[in-house]
């Protein structure tokens, strides 16, 4: 079931989204060579709780962190760890949600650690721009397939591939609501978008092949070919005109 939010619910989504966005700024400010992903996670959790919110991911399906922190070939769902230390040249994806009075934000960014390769910089840039491409179709009247086709066409025209096994989604009182929003698809197909829907649009882009696999920890999703991957996500409210960015 697709849930349309009323103005009071949208106000709470904006608040949750703002805390989520600010938690990503906290992460950005900690990222440097020598820092563990658990250190970043703790800083974010402290911030979210100080805002009177709760980390949406902590305990979700049993996830053991506040944020998913995924380095290099790990696409998503990396578990924060004292043993994972960031090094110069890494790229790190931080994906986090904050729940405020029952409503969730969900957002992700990919950050460079120190100086990174030109290819890594291009990957980060193309991933973000593929999200911007999707925003042209994130308004009432378009369909989920319009968003997916926009992301996929932009990514492929830049020589990269999109992950097909994990997708964007509705977001609200539940972290994951209907509809699913793949980063691929056929324009003009799929669920229709209506004003009042709130959705998390989240391109996951690989330098190499689109295939992924889950590691033995049961969470970390890595590229099957070991290539770099980037992720960019915002929660967005659909309107009859431009979408409202909830997590920027």
Residues engaged in binding Mg ion (CB under 5 A): 95, 106, 108, 200, 233
Name which of 107 and 206 has its Cβ closer to Mg ion: 107
Q: Angle 201-204-209 (CA atoms, 0-180°, nearest 5)?
A: 150
Name which of 85 and 176 has its Cβ closer to Mg ion: 176
CB of 88 to Mg ion, least distance (A): 26
Residues 6+ apart with CB under 8 A from 98: 16, 19, 20, 23, 48, 51, 53, 54, 55, 56, 104, 105
CB of 75 to Mg ion, least distance (A): 12
User: Across the strands, what pairs with 192?
Assistant: 143
Name which of 109 and 115 has its Cβ closer to Mg ion: 109
Asked whether 55 and 68 are in contact (CB, 8 A), the reply is no
Name which of 108 and 113 has its Cβ closer to Mg ion: 108
Secondary structure of residue 82 in the 3-state scheme: coil
- State the burial class of residue 235 (Cβ atoms within 10 Å of its Cβ: 0-12, 13-18, 19+): buried
Consecutive H or E run containing 144: helix 144-157
Name which of 106 and 146 has its Cβ closer to Mg ion: 106
Nearest-angstrom CA–CA distance, 20 and 99: 9
Residue 210 DSSP code:
S
Of the candidates 111, 104, 113, 139, the one whose C-alpha atom is nearest the C-alpha of residue 125 is 111
CB of 58 to Mg ion, least distance (A): 13
Distance of CA 184 to the CA centre of its chain: 16
CB of 97 to Mg ion, least distance (A): 6
Q: How far is CA 167 from CA 72, 89, 184, in A?
A: 19, 27, 9
Name which of 41 and 233 has its Cβ closer to Mg ion: 233
Name which of 56 and 161 has its Cβ closer to Mg ion: 56
CB of 111 to Mg ion, least distance (A): 15
CB of 207 to Mg ion, least distance (A): 21
CB of 187 to Mg ion, least distance (A): 22
């Amino acid at each position: 079931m697709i849930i349309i939010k009323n103005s009071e619910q949208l106000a709470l989504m904006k608040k949750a989204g703002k805390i989520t966005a600010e938690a990503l700024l906290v992460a950005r400010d900690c990222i440097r060579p020598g820092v563990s992903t658990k250190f970043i996670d703790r800083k974010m959790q402290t911030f979210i709780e100080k805002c009177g919110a709760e980390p949406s991911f902590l305990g979700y399906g049993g996830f053991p962190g506040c944020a998913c922190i995924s380095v290099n070939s790990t696409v998503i769902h990396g578990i924060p760890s004292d043993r994972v230390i960031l090094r110069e040249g890494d790229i790190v994806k931080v994906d986090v949600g904050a729940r405020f009075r029952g409503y969730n934000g969900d957002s992700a960014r990919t950050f460079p650690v120190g100086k990174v390769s030109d290819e890594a910089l291009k990957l980060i840039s193309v991933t973000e721009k593929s999200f911007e491409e999707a925003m042209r179709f994130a308004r009432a009247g378009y369909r989920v397939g319009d968003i997916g086709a926009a992301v996929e066409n932009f990514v492929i025209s830049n020589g990269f591939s999109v992950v097909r096994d994990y997708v964007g989604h509705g977001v609200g009182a539940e972290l994951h609501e209907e509809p699913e929003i793949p980063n691929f698809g056929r324009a003009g197909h799929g669920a229709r978008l209506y004003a009042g829907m709130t959705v998390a649009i989240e391109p996951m882009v690989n330098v190499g092949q689109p295939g992924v696999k889950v590691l033995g920890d049961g969470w970390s999703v890595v590229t099957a070919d070991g290539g770099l991957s980037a992720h960019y996500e915002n929660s967005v409210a659909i309107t009859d005109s431009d979408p409202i960015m909830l997590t920027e």
